[in-house]
Amino acid sequence: MSLRIVVCVKYVPDATGDRHFAEDLTVDRDDVDGLLSELDEYAVEQALQIADEADEAEITVLTVGPEDAKDALRKALSMGADKAVHVEDDDLHGTDVMGTSLVLAKAVEKIGYDLVICGMASTDGNMGVLPAILAERLGVPQVTLLSEVSVEDGRVTGRRDGDTASEQLEAALPAVVSVTDQSGEARYPSFKGIMAAKKKPVESWDLEDLEIDADAVGLEGAWTKVEDAKERPARTAGTIVKDEGEGGKQLAEFLAGQKFI
């Protein structure tokens, strides 16, 4: 039987750009170019490797986001995913993690899955909680923050490296997995992959397709509210000295002055 893998990816503002908030205190997406969240590339890579090991597998890459988010799907398709689903709806603007996880859960169920793979966090919101919430909503095991993952005989196993210990985890499918940037370098799309991606199917769904009430998502439906956002004041220029043989001593003098020594 074919292993059905859904990879959740996010289209995020480029972190090297100048990121800002829009007037409604949502992320200003017009201001900075977007791209596939780097940490999600690792999720796509692990999906591809798991699919390679399986007798038969199909990888669907899924995203929730505005029109431009298709770019993130194209990137994943050019890496080797089979098909894509884009959930797009004007009412989704300003959706928080609770709303996003609801949309993803409904979409994952509609696609049909044995395994959901996510990156460890997005590179914009950086919360790192979506995989756990998705598992809670789907009512399946979470096998998260893995630096190593494999699937065999209907079970997923992996290694989770924590602060105090390294754990070997195991769960039966279906399950939600998240992988860290230690799971294995993500491949670059080949020219052939990029050409092939253009012919792969990308389905577009809206809230109605997922039977989600518009009130449950968007800025109004969010369970949290950003009250204000202030740009951090630029640091005042520090002292910079050139080492002429006494650099270490000068630095010690500074640290002593600041009471660190």
> By CB under 8 A, what part of segment 62-91 binds another protein?
none
Rounded to a whole number of angstroms, the minimum distance from the CB of residue 194 to another protein is 26
30 binds another protein per the rule CB under 8 A: no
CB 56 within 8 A of CB 1: yes
> What is the CA 74 to chain-centroid distance, rounded?
15
- What is the C-alpha to C-alpha distance for residues 181 and 183, in angstroms, rounded to an integer? 5
Q: For residues 132 and 214, which CB has a smaller minimum distance to another protein in the complex?
A: 132
Separation CA 79–CA 235 (nearest Å):
41
- Single residue of 26, 49, 150, 250 touching another protein by CB under 8 A: 250
| Ranges within 147-166 binding another protein (CB under 8 A) | 147, 157, 160-166
Token pair of 168, please?
């070997």
Whether 177 contacts 115, CB under 8 Å: yes
258 counts as binding another protein under rule CB under 8 A: yes
1 binds another protein (CB under 8 A): no
Question: Quick one: 198 or 240, whose CB is closer to another protein?
Answer: 240
Residue type, 178: S
Task: Return the range that interacts with another protein (CB under 8 A); candidates 3-11, 51-59, 75-83, 238-246.
Answer: 238-246
Contact by Cβ (8 Å): 189, 75: yes
CB 91 within 8 A of CB 214: yes
Size of residue set near another protein by CB under 8 A: 82
Backbone angles phi, psi at 89, to 5 degrees: -165, 135
Residues 166-225 that bind another protein (CB under 8 A): 166-172, 175, 180-182, 222-225
- Nearest Cα to Cα of residue 110 among 89, 133, 132, 138: 138
Q: Which positions from 86 through 125 interact with another protein, judged by CB under 8 A? A: 96-98, 101, 120, 123-124
Q: Residue 195 CB, nearest distance to another protein (Å)?
A: 30
Nearer to another protein among residue 84 and residue 151 (C-beta): 151
Nearest distance in Å: CB 170, another protein: 5
